[in-house]
Amino acid sequence: MAKRFGGKYSPNADRADNGPPARPAPGEVRHPHEGRTKWITFMASPFLLTAFFQSDPVVMATSLAGFGITAGAMWMTREGLQAEAAYDARRVARRPAIPRKLFGGVLTGLGLAVGAAEPGALGGALAIGFTGSILHWLTFGPDPMSDKGMEGVDSFQQDRAARMVEEAEKHLAGITDAIKRVGDRRLEARVGMFAATARHLFDGVEQNPNALAAARRYLGVYLIGARDATVKFVDLYSRTRDQEARAQYEALLGDLEAGFQAVTQRLHEGGRTDMDIEIQVLRDRLAREGVRPPEGALLEDRAEQTADELFRIPENLRRR
């Protein structure tokens, strides 16, 4: 069967074989409001510009401090927006360990209050700072405050999987960075296709950390080998433009891609098997409770009928 070619520079590059969207590479995820932090920093520049025209050293110091605190607040806010974008891009994610946007909002209010402070007018400066913090919260929103997709997941195993995926991303970044030295768009696109396939496996490991043992070699040994092979190929191909070496390298990518796809498929099939087992166990329990809904009824309807039967038991006891 014919297979459509696709890659980083192809249309609909975020999908492979009409499957789920490819996992974004680190640094590719952008929050739509990141650009606002630069504008707010620019709007605080009057604190910096007017500080050097002040005759009072205290006022000059507060103006400089106001700009510095506001700029630091926008840096903290931008980090929080990037963390939120990475959180939203993943189906399984932990909440950020540090609420950066919250700290950014507090620092924004503090910077405005310090910059606007004048002797005898501290109340007005505090009002400006409080208003700035509220506007920051309305503009950028709160930080993610809860884990996503972590119900029933072993936290220790999830942390191990996250560390392995992080290391695998570094190896994958080494491959993509090395191939750029060749200056060949087709090779970059081919490596992009392999990277997308590898990131599908990363997603599978993050969603099912118990499968880490089955994918450990692919996340470590095979990616390290692919990175080293890519570096050697780039050194050779940049000097000689050897087409045979190129064909061998593309064949290596094809073999690795097939291996990663096979492991990802096994992870999906293993998850489906676990789900089928759970459904069968629940059906057996329903049958033991004497609940036998008609064929074709939804599983949710069966569970609801079982709950109704169980709730009727105390009522019958009270009547007796």
Cβ atoms of residues 199 and 215 within 8 Å = no
Q: Are residues 115 and 221 in the same domain?
A: no
Q: Are residues 95 and 185 in the same domain?
A: no
Q: Are residues 163 and 280 in the same domain?
A: yes
Q: Are residues 173 and 263 in the same domain?
A: yes
Name 93's bridge partners: 148
Q: Are residues 120 and 52 in the same domain?
A: yes
For residue 95, pLDDT beyond 70: yes
Q: Are residues 96 and 185 in the same domain?
A: no
Helix (H) / strand (E) containing 250: helix 243-288
Cβ atoms of residues 126 and 113 within 8 Å = yes
Q: What is the pLDDT of residue 68?
A: 92
Q: Which residue has the tokens 């004497």?
A: 290
SS3 per residue for 55-96: CCHHHHHHHHHHHHHHHHHHHHHHHHHHHHHHHHHCCCECCC
Angle at 205 between CA 219 and CA 164, to 5 degrees: 40
Q: Are residues 44 and 101 in the same domain?
A: yes
Cβ atoms of residues 116 and 179 within 8 Å = no
315 within a domain of the structure (yes/no): yes
Q: Are residues 114 and 223 in the same domain?
A: no
Cβ atoms of residues 16 and 194 within 8 Å = no
Per-residue tokens: 146: 């809860």
24 within a domain of the structure (yes/no): no
Q: How many domains does the chain have?
A: 3
308 within a domain of the structure (yes/no): yes
Q: Are residues 218 and 134 in the same domain?
A: no
Distance CA 52, CA 181 (A): 47
201 within a domain of the structure (yes/no): yes
How buried is 22 (Cβ within 10 angstroms: 0-12 exposed, 13-18 middle, 19+ buried)?
A: buried
Distance CA 150, CA 158 (A): 9
Cβ atoms of residues 97 and 76 within 8 Å = no
**More reliable by pLDDT, 40 or 279:** 40
Domain-ending residue, one of 85, 112, 140: 140
pLDDT digits (tens, 9 = 90+) for 262-277: 888 887 766 555 555 5
Q: What is the pLDDT of residue 160?
A: 79
Instruction: Label residues 132-161 b or e (16+ Cβ within 10 Å = b).
Output: bbeebbeebeebbeeeeeeeebeeeebeeb
Q: Are residues 179 and 219 in the same domain?
A: yes
Distance CA 115, CA 136 (A): 17
Domain-ending residue, one of 76, 109, 140: 140
User: Containing domain of residue 301, as a range?
Assistant: 292-319
Name 148's bridge partners: 93
Q: Are residues 216 and 254 in the same domain?
A: yes
**More reliable by pLDDT, 245 or 212:** 245
Tell me the pLDDT band of 104, cut-offs 50, 70 and 90: very high
Q: Are residues 234 and 277 in the same domain?
A: yes
Mean pLDDT of the chain: 76
Q: What is the pLDDT of residue 149?
A: 61
CA 41 from chain center: how many Å?
27
- Put simply, whether the predicted model's pTM sits higher than 0.95 gets the answer no
Amino acid identity of residue 227, one-letter, is R
Angle at 140 between CA 39 and CA 111, to 5 degrees: 60
